[in-house]
Amino acid sequence: MNSPLVLVVDDDAKIRKLVRFNLEQRGYRVWEAEDGGEAIAAVERDTPDLVILDLVLPGMSGNDICLAIRDRSDVPIIVMSAHNEEDLKVRALDCGADDFVTKPFGQEEFMARVRAVMRRVLPPGAPLSLERIHVKGLSINLKARRAFVDNQDIRLTRTEFALLAELAQHMNAVLTHDELLARVWGEEYRGSSHYLHVYFGRIRKKIGDRYSPLLESVPGVGYILHSNSH
């Protein structure tokens, strides 16, 4: 079957039923898990296309599950929580989540988030002839959606790669916060700059101290990938 497979992880059967209904009505396949052990086993066994993950679960927290999944897969993860504090969102993003949805959520808002996460692949409009971009020891393969530092795969998540690919295709030009948010997350994410701070921190860490100066934050404006150290 070609329809995307979504793993829904929540100990509340009513929430799982609601999420399943909304997804299946739009052609997604849905599998369920009640706790961290089931979720991690399902990711390893079934390679879902998306994980919907509650933050409060018995035994193993949603953030710990997120970290465990990230050790195994770059599958997109949307976390759900009844709390909406900013530091909670940042912590979830730090653990590898791609987005954060607050309970209770409206059906259309939820599906918009799902669509936004699912479209985070190679940014549209990339020239077909431009398959690889090299910046010193940093190599970005747009076709394979992989990045390498000194020929070592740095295992970027899909969202991390999408951000780096956007900058690589606009080398030496500043892309504003809102431009990056709209291109990678979607127009509805304009103004959510905390996403960028977390993700670029992770990208810099993976690139390493030798090449992270190539990726510059322009305070209050956006980000730029330089072709040479500056």
Contacts of 193 (CB under 8 A, 6+ apart): 177, 181
Instruction: Please confirm whether the linkage preceding 4 is cis (ω < 30° from 0).
Output: no
| Phi and psi torsions of 81, nearest 5° | -155, 150
Q: Are residues 20 and 97 in the same domain?
A: yes
What is the amino acid identity at position 127? P
- Residue 127 located in a structural domain: no
Taking only the tens place, the pLDDT of each residue in 182-229 is 888 888 788 778 889 989 999 999 999 999 999 999 998 999 999 875
- Residue 219 located in a structural domain: yes
Q: Look at residue 2 in the predicted model and tell me its pLDDT.
A: 64
What is the amino acid identity at position 37? G
- Residue 123 located in a structural domain: no
Q: Are residues 94 and 140 in the same domain?
A: no
- Entry field: residues in the chain: 230
Q: Are residues 140 and 111 in the same domain?
A: no
Q: Are residues 79 and 144 in the same domain?
A: no
What is the tally of structural domains in the chain?
2
Q: Are residues 163 and 70 in the same domain?
A: no
Q: Which domain holds residue 142?
A: 132-225
Task: List b or e across 207-216, with b for residues whose CB sees 16 or more CB atoms inside 10 angstroms.
Answer: beeebbebbe
Q: Are 92 and 63 in contact (CB under 8 A)?
A: yes
Q: Are residues 94 and 185 in the same domain?
A: no
Taking only the tens place, the pLDDT of each residue in 142-183 is 878 889 999 899 989 888 999 999 999 888 889 999 999 988
